[in-house]
Amino acid sequence: MPRSTQQPPAPSRSGMAAAEPAEIQRLVEDLDGMLSRLRLGAIREQLDGLLEEAARRQLNLREALAWLCAAEVASKEQRRLSMAMTIAHFPFVRTLEGFEFEAQPSIDPGKIRDLGTCRWVANGDNVVLLGPPGVGKTHLEVALGREAVARGYTAQFTTAMELIGALVKAQQQGTLEMRLAQYAKPKLLIIDELGYLPLEPAAGHLFFQLISRRYEQGSVLISSNRPVDEWDEVFGDQVVAAAILDRLLHHSHVVTIRGDSYRLREKRRSGLFRPQAGGSSSAGIGGVPPPIPAEEA
Ligand code: ADP
Ligand code: MG
């Protein structure tokens, strides 16, 4: 292919030894353009600083090249991460480090930290988080979802209502197949708040279609305020509920959280509420509840 007159001469295979100083100068002048063409945006933007730093550290050429590449790789990884986090649609930022295990003694920290390694995502297993409102289910879903994204997996967060609403609408519009395929795509699908409202049997059946589509393909992380033996009420149909549970629980980790709402702990301490039976408000918190973190949503 003929080269355009705009392009600098390519160095010969034997290297730059034969290049005239004027040619080198032209290459240097086109460096910005070449870096753009190669999509090495971080190197282009930080070139002066990076080269100065490389000189200050007296790096040899190979070391300097590695140093520049590392800056580009870090920047690309950062961009990938922030893009994947955006696509995941987490409702707020929550992390495993930010989860106070002392506040929720019914949770085994080792089990959650093990889930934090995301081996279950790699294996396509599911995680079911069960517990009353305010005990940290959504917090853990977001935190585990972020761990998965940080490890390079695609994730999508949705609520059960949003998901079912989208499936019902798609069915009415004749685009169910497309929607199911869309929800089947991320390696990890997080479904928050199943069970707050009972579903019509038809909606339960759509949910079943989704779960069986994802079965042994990708992971589902699902939370519910209702124990699984009440899911036939949630889905409005015993057979559909059994079929969903069969697939969901086949390769799964179930985490049951018992205890009081984290949100209400301070209020409870001030005497506004009485602790729930079997609750954990008095256990393991040393009498001093940590401040309730501000919502970052
Ligand atoms: P659920 O989804 O079970 O109703 P959330 O995860 O929404 O509860 O928790 C309510 C709020 O309390 C959130 O802001 C969450 O970050 C916080 N929270 C709950 N449990 C803990 C905990 N053990 N440590 C730190 N923050 C917590
Ligand atoms: Mg929640």
Instruction: Provide residues with CB under 6 Å of ligand 1.
Output: 94, 98-100, 103-104, 131, 133-139, 262-263, 293, 295
- Name the band, by pLDDT with cuts 50, 70 and 90, for residue 216: confident
pTM over 0.85: no
Pairwise CA distance, residues 235 & 232, whole Å: 5
**Ligand 1 atom nearest residue 223's Cα:** 2
Q: Is the pLDDT of residue 251 over 90?
A: yes
Using DSSP's 3-state secondary structure scheme, residue 270 falls into: coil
**Ligand 1 atom nearest residue 295's Cα:** 14
Q: What percent of the chain has pLDDT over 90?
A: 76
Q: How far is the CA of 166 from the centre of ligand 1 (A)?
A: 27
Residue with tokens 């009081």: 260
Q: Whose CA is nearest to atom 26 of ligand 1?
A: 99
Q: Is the pLDDT of residue 80 over 60?
A: yes
Closest CA to 251 of 106, 121, 118: 121
- Name the band, by pLDDT with cuts 50, 70 and 90, for residue 273: low
Q: What percent of the chain has pLDDT over 70?
A: 83
Helices (H), the chain: 21-29, 31-37, 41-56, 61-88, 109-116, 119-123, 137-150, 160-173, 176-184, 201-214, 231-235, 238-250, 265-269
| Residue 27 burial (10 A CB sphere; 0-12, 13-18, 19+) | middle
CA of residue 100 relative to chain centroid, distance: 20
